A = this chain, B = another copy of it.
Amino acid sequence: MYRSSMARTKGDHEARRRDVSEAVWRVLAAHGFDGLTLRAVATELGATTGLLTHYFPAKRDLVAHALELLEQRTDARPRRTPGQGLAALRSVLLDILPLTPDATASNRIWVSSWDTALADPALTEDYAGKYGRSRDRLAERVAAAQALGELPPGDPAGIAAGAQSFVLGLVVQALFAPAEFTPERQIQLLDTYLAGLAAPRGTTPAAPLP
Protein backbone atom coordinates (compact mmCIF):
# COMPACT_ATOMS: atom_id res chain seq x y z
CA MET A 1 0.00 0.00 0.00
CA TYR A 2 2.75 2.47 0.96
CA ARG A 3 5.85 2.70 -1.19
CA SER A 4 8.65 4.00 0.97
CA SER A 5 10.89 4.80 -2.03
CA MET A 6 8.48 7.27 -3.66
CA ALA A 7 9.43 10.90 -3.76
CA ARG A 8 6.91 12.65 -1.58
CA THR A 9 5.68 16.16 -1.05
CA LYS A 10 4.99 17.73 2.33
CA GLY A 11 1.26 17.15 1.72
CA ASP A 12 1.87 13.45 1.13
CA HIS A 13 3.87 13.31 4.31
CA GLU A 14 1.10 14.88 6.38
CA ALA A 15 -1.53 12.68 4.76
CA ARG A 16 0.53 9.65 5.65
CA ARG A 17 0.92 10.79 9.24
CA ARG A 18 -2.86 11.07 9.44
CA ASP A 19 -3.25 7.57 7.98
CA VAL A 20 -0.80 6.20 10.53
CA SER A 21 -2.70 7.91 13.36
CA GLU A 22 -6.01 6.54 12.07
CA ALA A 23 -4.55 3.04 12.00
CA VAL A 24 -3.22 3.40 15.57
CA TRP A 25 -6.69 4.56 16.68
CA ARG A 26 -8.47 1.62 15.01
CA VAL A 27 -6.05 -0.87 16.58
CA LEU A 28 -6.64 0.71 20.01
CA ALA A 29 -10.42 0.68 19.61
CA ALA A 30 -10.36 -3.00 18.65
CA HIS A 31 -7.55 -4.39 20.81
CA GLY A 32 -6.66 -1.84 23.49
CA PHE A 33 -3.19 -0.86 24.59
CA ASP A 34 -2.28 -4.48 25.29
CA GLY A 35 -2.89 -5.21 21.59
CA LEU A 36 -1.05 -2.12 20.34
CA THR A 37 2.00 -3.40 18.45
CA LEU A 38 3.89 -2.17 15.40
CA ARG A 39 2.80 -5.34 13.63
CA ALA A 40 -0.92 -4.72 14.37
CA VAL A 41 -0.68 -1.11 13.17
CA ALA A 42 1.21 -2.21 10.04
CA THR A 43 -1.48 -4.79 9.22
CA GLU A 44 -4.23 -2.22 9.78
CA LEU A 45 -2.41 0.22 7.50
CA GLY A 46 -1.41 -2.31 4.86
CA ALA A 47 2.21 -1.28 5.33
CA THR A 48 5.39 -2.95 6.54
CA THR A 49 6.53 -2.79 10.15
CA GLY A 50 9.75 -1.36 8.67
CA LEU A 51 7.87 1.70 7.49
CA LEU A 52 6.36 2.16 10.95
CA THR A 53 9.69 2.09 12.74
CA HIS A 54 10.34 5.36 10.89
CA TYR A 55 7.49 6.90 12.94
CA PHE A 56 7.92 4.85 16.08
CA PRO A 57 11.49 3.69 16.70
CA ALA A 58 10.44 1.95 19.95
CA LYS A 59 7.25 0.58 21.51
CA ARG A 60 7.18 3.51 23.96
CA ASP A 61 7.03 5.96 21.03
CA LEU A 62 3.96 4.16 19.75
CA VAL A 63 2.35 4.27 23.21
CA ALA A 64 3.23 7.96 23.60
CA HIS A 65 1.62 8.70 20.23
CA ALA A 66 -1.46 6.71 21.20
CA LEU A 67 -1.84 8.66 24.45
CA GLU A 68 -1.41 11.93 22.58
CA LEU A 69 -4.09 10.90 20.05
CA LEU A 70 -6.44 9.98 22.90
CA GLU A 71 -5.97 13.40 24.46
CA GLN A 72 -6.37 15.26 21.14
CA ARG A 73 -9.49 13.37 20.14
CA THR A 74 -11.02 13.81 23.56
CA ASP A 75 -10.39 17.57 23.40
CA ALA A 76 -11.77 17.74 19.83
CA ARG A 77 -14.88 15.62 20.39
CA PRO A 78 -18.29 17.17 19.71
CA ARG A 79 -19.89 18.57 22.85
CA ARG A 80 -23.37 19.56 23.86
CA THR A 81 -24.19 23.24 24.34
CA PRO A 82 -23.83 23.32 28.10
CA GLY A 83 -26.71 25.56 29.17
CA GLN A 84 -26.40 26.67 32.78
CA GLY A 85 -26.71 25.39 36.33
CA LEU A 86 -27.74 21.77 36.74
CA ALA A 87 -28.33 21.44 32.98
CA ALA A 88 -24.69 22.38 32.38
CA LEU A 89 -23.50 19.77 34.88
CA ARG A 90 -25.70 17.17 33.20
CA SER A 91 -24.44 18.12 29.77
CA VAL A 92 -20.76 17.77 30.67
CA LEU A 93 -21.45 14.36 32.25
CA LEU A 94 -23.42 13.23 29.18
CA ASP A 95 -20.46 14.26 27.01
CA ILE A 96 -18.35 11.66 28.84
CA LEU A 97 -20.71 8.67 28.48
CA PRO A 98 -20.43 6.12 25.63
CA LEU A 99 -23.70 7.16 23.97
CA THR A 100 -22.42 6.99 20.36
CA PRO A 101 -20.07 4.60 18.50
CA ASP A 102 -17.32 7.27 18.51
CA ALA A 103 -17.72 7.95 22.22
CA THR A 104 -17.72 4.20 22.86
CA ALA A 105 -14.42 3.77 20.97
CA SER A 106 -12.88 6.69 22.87
CA ASN A 107 -14.03 5.38 26.24
CA ARG A 108 -12.84 1.89 25.45
CA ILE A 109 -9.41 3.37 24.72
CA TRP A 110 -9.45 5.49 27.90
CA VAL A 111 -10.31 2.47 30.07
CA SER A 112 -7.65 0.46 28.29
CA SER A 113 -5.09 3.20 28.92
CA TRP A 114 -5.55 2.96 32.71
CA ASP A 115 -3.40 -0.17 32.83
CA THR A 116 -0.58 1.56 30.97
CA ALA A 117 -1.00 4.75 33.02
CA LEU A 118 -1.00 2.98 36.40
CA ALA A 119 2.17 1.08 35.49
CA ASP A 120 4.18 4.29 34.96
CA PRO A 121 4.57 6.78 37.85
CA ALA A 122 4.89 9.82 35.54
CA LEU A 123 1.77 8.81 33.62
CA THR A 124 -0.10 8.09 36.86
CA GLU A 125 0.65 11.64 37.98
CA ASP A 126 -0.35 12.99 34.58
CA TYR A 127 -3.68 11.14 34.72
CA ALA A 128 -4.28 12.18 38.31
CA GLY A 129 -3.81 15.80 37.19
CA LYS A 130 -6.19 15.36 34.26
CA TYR A 131 -8.92 13.88 36.46
CA GLY A 132 -8.27 16.48 39.14
CA ARG A 133 -8.78 19.32 36.63
CA SER A 134 -11.89 17.61 35.35
CA ARG A 135 -13.25 17.47 38.93
CA ASP A 136 -12.42 21.16 39.35
CA ARG A 137 -14.51 22.00 36.29
CA LEU A 138 -17.35 19.83 37.59
CA ALA A 139 -17.12 21.56 40.98
CA GLU A 140 -17.56 24.96 39.27
CA ARG A 141 -20.73 23.69 37.65
CA VAL A 142 -21.95 22.24 40.93
CA ALA A 143 -21.38 25.61 42.64
CA ALA A 144 -23.24 27.38 39.81
CA ALA A 145 -26.21 25.00 40.21
CA GLN A 146 -26.15 25.63 43.97
CA ALA A 147 -26.12 29.39 43.37
CA LEU A 148 -29.25 28.95 41.23
CA GLY A 149 -30.87 26.93 44.02
CA GLU A 150 -31.02 23.81 41.80
CA LEU A 151 -28.74 21.83 44.10
CA PRO A 152 -28.85 21.94 47.90
CA PRO A 153 -25.83 23.36 49.73
CA GLY A 154 -22.86 21.03 50.23
CA ASP A 155 -19.15 20.84 49.41
CA PRO A 156 -18.91 21.30 45.59
CA ALA A 157 -15.59 19.39 45.45
CA GLY A 158 -17.12 16.35 47.15
CA ILE A 159 -20.19 16.42 44.91
CA ALA A 160 -17.92 16.75 41.86
CA ALA A 161 -15.78 13.78 42.98
CA GLY A 162 -18.96 11.76 43.48
CA ALA A 163 -20.31 12.69 40.04
CA GLN A 164 -17.04 11.84 38.35
CA SER A 165 -16.93 8.48 40.14
CA PHE A 166 -20.49 7.75 39.10
CA VAL A 167 -19.86 8.53 35.44
CA LEU A 168 -16.51 6.70 35.18
CA GLY A 169 -18.02 3.58 36.72
CA LEU A 170 -21.02 3.82 34.41
CA VAL A 171 -18.63 3.97 31.45
CA VAL A 172 -16.98 0.73 32.60
CA GLN A 173 -20.33 -1.03 33.10
CA ALA A 174 -21.57 0.13 29.70
CA LEU A 175 -18.42 -1.04 27.90
CA PHE A 176 -18.79 -4.54 29.34
CA ALA A 177 -22.57 -4.82 28.88
CA PRO A 178 -23.63 -2.49 26.05
CA ALA A 179 -26.89 -4.39 25.45
CA GLU A 180 -27.93 -3.78 29.05
CA PHE A 181 -26.52 -0.26 29.33
CA THR A 182 -28.08 1.23 26.21
CA PRO A 183 -27.73 4.99 25.71
CA GLU A 184 -31.31 5.42 27.03
CA ARG A 185 -30.52 3.46 30.18
CA GLN A 186 -27.26 5.33 30.77
CA ILE A 187 -29.10 8.64 30.51
CA GLN A 188 -31.83 7.37 32.81
CA LEU A 189 -29.28 6.25 35.42
CA LEU A 190 -27.48 9.59 35.22
CA ASP A 191 -30.76 11.49 35.59
CA THR A 192 -31.70 9.40 38.62
CA TYR A 193 -28.30 10.19 40.11
CA LEU A 194 -28.73 13.91 39.45
CA ALA A 195 -32.26 13.83 40.87
CA GLY A 196 -30.74 12.31 44.03
CA LEU A 197 -28.26 15.20 44.23
CA ALA A 198 -31.06 17.70 43.69
CA ALA A 199 -33.45 16.15 46.24
CA PRO A 200 -33.95 18.52 49.16
CA ARG A 201 -32.33 17.14 52.30
CA GLY A 202 -34.34 16.98 55.49
CA THR A 203 -33.47 19.45 58.25
CA THR A 204 -32.35 16.59 60.52
CA PRO A 205 -29.33 14.78 59.16
CA ALA A 206 -29.72 11.08 58.30
CA ALA A 207 -28.92 8.75 61.20
CA PRO A 208 -25.20 7.91 61.10
CA LEU A 209 -24.50 4.51 59.60
CA PRO A 210 -22.91 1.94 61.91
Contact = CB atoms under 8 A, between A and B. Distances in A.
Oligomeric state, in copies? 2
Nearest to A63: B34
Given A115-B115, A196-B197, A176 B209 contact: no
B114 A180 contact: no
A40 B111 CA distance: 24
A158 interface: yes
A127 interface: yes
B176 A115 contact: no
Q: Interface size for chain A: under 10, 10 to 19, 20 to 34, or 35 or more residues? A: 35 or more
Q: A114, A119, A132, A196 — which one has the most chain B CB atoms within 10 A of its CB?
A: A196
Contacts of A154: 192
22 contacts: A32-B119, A33-B34, A35-B119, A87-B210, A90-B209, A108-B118, A115-B116, A128-B176, A128-B180, A131-B173, A131-B176, A159-B192, A162-B166, A164-B169, A165-B166, A165-B169, A168-B168, A169-B170, A169-B171, A195-B205, A196-B197, A199-B202
Interface in A169-196: 169-173, 175-177, 180-181, 188-189, 191-196
Contacts of A146: none
B124 A176 contact: yes
Contact of A169 (B90, B172, B197): B172
Interface in A66-98: 83, 86-87, 90
A118 B86 CA distance: 33
Nearest to A195: B206
Contacts of A202: 199-200
B34 A175 contact: no
Contacts of A52: none
A147 B40 CA distance: 54
Given A177-B132, A199-B202, A209-B86, A119 B31 contact: yes
A114 B112 CA distance: 7
